[in-house]
Chains A and B, each alone.
Chain A
Amino acid sequence: MIDDLDKLVEGLLEGTLSEGDSERFLAHLARCSTCRELVDAHKTVHRSLASLATRAIAPMSADFTDRLLGRLPAPASPGASGRAGPSLAVVLAVAGGLTVLAAIGGLIWSRSGPPTLPAASATSSPSPSPASTAVEAVTTSGITGLTDNQVKGGSPGDEPGPR
């Protein structure tokens, strides 16, 4: 046996020994059967272990891949998630803003009373503003979760906020 046997064997297996070290070690192996047998055993195990990059160490299920693919979620259509996110955010932001505007308008209305209108229009219902129409549309669709009553006639105490 010789010193640094581990590094010499490793270098021999990996081909990383210097030319001089390689010659000296091979010359030693030619004389020393103990070291030669050890190196041969390491070569055999080295090759077997290296084969594990391509061979399964134990039997694997034949349906491994099918089973895995069966668990995977179905692929989303390309770009679908990219469209859904921003559009929902925009709708919610608009709905929230309009809800606040409608509540502020209701508060002003309740404090100052109805504006003085020409006689011809005083008896008719005020036509809805574009903003309240939008709020109705949004609340009716259920996005904000508010009832029409909360949006139109709510008192300041139950002023709804965007959800």
Chain B
Amino acid sequence: MDEAELVRRVLSGEQEAYRLLVERHKVRVFNRCYFILGSAADAEDLAQETFFRAYQNLSKYDARFSFATWILTIARNLSLNWKRKPQAPVAAVDPREEWVESLGSEVPGPEAQVEEGMSLAAIREAIVAVQPEFREVLALRYIQELSYQEISDLLKVPMGTVKSRLFHGRDRLIKLLHEKGAAPAS
């Protein structure tokens, strides 16, 4: 179903239509938050907050743009704001966090997905060690699926810088993965 139609249904009081929007976009929103926060628990909290705020402000959504662009922009802004603020100490360790921390061990996680010799778990662990300016461009390109021009406009940097950051971001990721024995030689 067309997303503008789903939004219209939600605004007319059909809350279940929002379930479809959430199901369609939750993975990308979660990944977007993770690229900024580097923690699965925090990323899930911020993803929840993103969809909650979007619901509250759904009447402001402009259907001329894709819903993905709108919701991912909210996710990015909320995550960046959250990261800037001093955080209260965490009361309890989220079990998923313990699991993430165990990724460096020899025992693979239960959902380890091997892709051409590189597991998703290894990428997850390595990406947080990539410099933020490179990580941001990688997220804008691969998760938000923005064009070079859109990234250039958003970050106010030349398009050549965008391409260079993408290359160096991937290059850094390759080196980190290689150090962990999780990447093909480069």
B55 within 8 A of A: yes
B163 within 8 A of A: yes
A27 within 8 A of B: no
Q: Is there contact, CB below 8 Å, between A47 and B96?
A: no
CB distance from A34 to the nearest CB of B (A): 9
> A125 vs B8: C-alpha distance in the bound complex, in angstroms?
60
Given A44-B118, A55-B120, A58-B96, does the pair A6, B13 have CB atoms closer than 8 Å? no
Q: Which residues of chain A (36-63) have a CB below 8 Å from chain B? A: 37-38, 40-42, 44-61
Interface size on B, residues (CB 8 A): 57
> A57 vs B124: C-alpha distance in the bound complex, in angstroms?
6
Encoded as 1 (CB less than 8 Å from any A CB) or 0, chain B from 128 to 148 comes to 000000000010011101000
Q: Is there contact, CB below 8 Å, between B142 and A53?
A: yes
Interface of chain A, main secondary structure? helix
From A42, A45, A49, A55, B113 is in contact (CB under 8 Å) with A55
Q: Which residues on A sit within 8 Å (CB–CB) of B40? A: 58-59
> A41 vs B18: C-alpha distance in the bound complex, in angstroms?
40
Encoded as 1 (CB less than 8 Å from any A CB) or 0, chain B from 141 to 164 comes to 111010000000000000010011
Q: Which residues on A sit within 8 Å (CB–CB) of B51? A: 68
Of A71-79, A83-91, A95-103, A109-117, the one contacting chain B is A71-79
Q: Which residues on B sit within 8 Å (CB–CB) of A72? A: 15, 18, 52, 55
Q: Is there contact, CB below 8 Å, between B167 and A56?
A: no
> A42 vs B123: C-alpha distance in the bound complex, in angstroms?
13
Encoded as 1 (CB less than 8 Å from any A CB) or 0, chain B from 162 to 175 comes to 01101110110110
Q: Is there contact, CB below 8 Å, between B44 and A61?
A: yes
A7 within 8 A of B: yes
Question: Which 4 pairs from chain A and chain B are nearest by CB?
Answer: A41-B186, A6-B167, A58-B40, A75-B13
**A interface with B by C-beta (< 8 Å):** 5-7, 9-10, 37-38, 40-42, 44-61, 64-65, 67-69, 71-72, 74-78
